[in-house]
Structure 1
Amino acid sequence: MRVTVVYSPAPREVREWLLEVPAQATVSMALQASGLGIEFPDVDWKAAALGVWGRKASLAQPLREDDRIEVYRPLLVDPKLARRERFRKQGARAAGLFARKKK
């Protein structure tokens, strides 16, 4: 069975492994077969957030043919906080429904 493991160690940089795994393989087995832990020893993939095709997954989740396993990096900034800061810098009149439009 073919699966793909994807990891992005930095912004705009993506590493991808195409693997052949047994029919009853799990996410954990695919991550071990990918060599992710060898190439990126600082990543604790057992504690990292994981997904299969963008949906949250566990290490014990069984895989299907052509699944894409994604290993997510932790967020550096809370997205809600970043949006509030951008809005604060823009000002209330420059954004949203009440923005003053130039004619």
Structure 2
Amino acid sequence: MAKNAWMRNGLNSWFLGMEAMQVITLRTMKLAAGGADARTEAQRMVSEKIAAGVDLQMRAMTGGLGLTADGATAKVLAHYRRKVRANRRRLGNTGG
């Protein structure tokens, strides 16, 4: 499987979906609790999504995603998995 780029991209897509589901659950719990922390999280969530999208657009426009479809897909997945993983770690901390 390691030599098949599309299989690897498919697996990374699945991992991204699982990690995103965990972040959604953690965020929902935080937002449901209400208060200042929930407001801060909601604002952070929106600004992070905008920043991640803009960063990815800049990479695409400057050739930073590579020249092949499978390579670009891998870079996009890696980009979003890094963001989602950081949020999962942050939200998973009891103080986060």
Q: Structure 1 length as normaliser, TM-score?
A: 0.23
Higher helix share: 2
By relative contact order (CA 8 Å, sep 6+), the higher-ranking structure is 2
**Which entry has the higher C-alpha Rg, 1 or 2?**
1
Higher strand share: 1
Q: Structure 2 length as normaliser, TM-score?
A: 0.24
